Chains A and B, each alone.
Chain A
């Protein structure tokens, strides 16, 4: 089932919509917001210079810092009387990022979330358990109104109270679970205390997961723990919230709703647009938002895009599940390395998730990479040869899979420095 016929429109039809909307958006921000007007002028362009989709590359980037600098409402393009909703990031690393919506934007959001639900096989017969947090975070309300739009019954569970949540899921005959993958796994672990047959008490068929970076291993674990289909949603509040893209039954890639969000992949270092299929930073221009239109927003997320139509019948461009963050990316002797890839290689080599830290240094003119791996109880042995074998195996897999020549060093548990409870994954001593 496809919610909107535009999702399977021809490439020409999609591009025609994109160009028309891009021109409208450029005109809007230029006419209304001094920040954009100034940035356009710096580059010597006006909205009239946007004659093709390629001209998008002439427009300036917008960064998270720009939103912070104009805290709270400086980048809005409608009067406050028209704004019907505000959301905001927690702002743990500085001033919060504030986003606003007018009535039209709310319709756009509900529309894309309705596409997400339909793509996940969810309709009027379904009961959606929404355990994304309700509040300033866009997850809760985004998933809430999209479910109502497709006529499903919503249980606005929000976070916490695991036992009560499980009771509601059983008693209300919940068929759809919407939450973060880690919370889904937590729910399954608690549910499993009722015995290995616990799944028969639940009617769950699909889960719509997102809001945190997720390894392939964790996705499989969640799907298996509940015996359900795994759908992945991508989104960010600066663009709209959840509902930028979603995976379908035919592919692990996520269909990006490009009639509303125009994506590009750029080299995070040079800002140049990369060819189709290559990995780089995802940049999005909103095409239909009015309260907070945003031009070429640097998401910081690393992915790739392919345009070939999907077996599900949709033609919208498909993005890879997020590979990593541009901020975390290391360039080692010309090779791009993301910590998430290193983590993946280590987990595959040893079958367990090990704590690690990547240290980059200069040795003469060359970059030298050292990867510290903590020896956990799972891999500890009385045999030195065995530990040496593990060390060499990780080193060889890094070379074979990521083409990086790293020195793997085994270290004692808890040696890797932690910051606010999170292990510091990258130490770049070249800077």
Chain B
């Protein structure tokens, strides 16, 4: 397993109040959300979350009747300056590695860029980034 962080994906039907139920379960359990992204496709969507306690959050959400999937994603540290996203994207593109999706996460003075590649290419992606001096995180 290459260096990665765990992301939770939660299946949501596109109707009022469902998102609130997820965040409610987490809030009640005192689980901090580090990053959140909602993608929708018509009648349904997937809520992607990076949280402080992945396993506990998964159990609680499943007990609440949600389908949850844990998958590894790459988290890299980025500075708050122009061109930093471009640098990472170009590095991967030059190696022919496709980014399936990406979003950000804030953490102190620096930002965090979360990205997902094909599973088989994750290890290579991390190597490419680290060899160019990009800091890849194993926790956020």
Contact = CB atoms under 8 A, between A and B. Distances in A.
B11 A380 contact: yes
Interface string A397-410: 00000000000011
Interface in B43-77: 43-46, 48, 62, 65-69, 71
B16 interface: no
B66 A413 contact: yes
A409 B11 CA distance: 13
Contacts of A376: 67
A376 B68 CA distance: 9
A414 B11 CA distance: 12
B12 A412 contact: yes
A382 B6 CA distance: 11
Contact of B69 (A380, A409, A415): A380
Interface stretch (A188-196, A258-266, A383-391): A383-391
A383 B100 contact: yes
A415 B9 contact: no
Interface string B1-23: 00000010101110000100000
A414 B62 CA distance: 11
B46 A382 contact: yes
A409 B43 contact: yes
Chain B, interface SS category: strand
Contacts, number: 57
Contacts of B42: 388
Interface residues of B, number: 24
A377 B9 CA distance: 11
A412 B67 contact: yes
Contact of B67 (A385, A388, A413): A413
A376 B7 CA distance: 18
Contact of B13 (A380, A382, A385, A412): A412
A380 B48 CA distance: 12
Contacts of B11: 375, 380, 387, 410, 412
Nearest to A379: B67
B69 A382 contact: yes
B67 A382 contact: no
Contacts of A385: 41
Contacts of B69: 377, 380-382
A387 B45 CA distance: 9
A382 B70 CA distance: 8
A166 interface: no
Given A412-B12, A412-B66, A384 B45 contact: yes
Contacts of B66: 412-413
Interface in A66-95: none
Contacts of A412: 11-13, 18, 65-67
Given A381-B9, A382-B71, A413 B46 contact: no
B7 A382 contact: yes
B13 A377 contact: no
Contacts of B39: 384
B13 A411 contact: yes
Nearest to A415: B13
B16 to A, nearest CB: 14
7 contacts: A377-B68, A377-B69, A387-B46, A410-B44, A411-B13, A412-B12, A412-B18
Closest 3 CB pairs of A and B: A382-B9, A380-B67, A380-B69
Given A381-B71, A387-B46, 14 more contacts: A375-B67, A377-B62, A377-B69, A380-B9, A380-B11, A380-B69, A382-B46, A382-B69, A382-B71, A384-B41, A384-B46, A409-B43, A412-B13, A414-B65
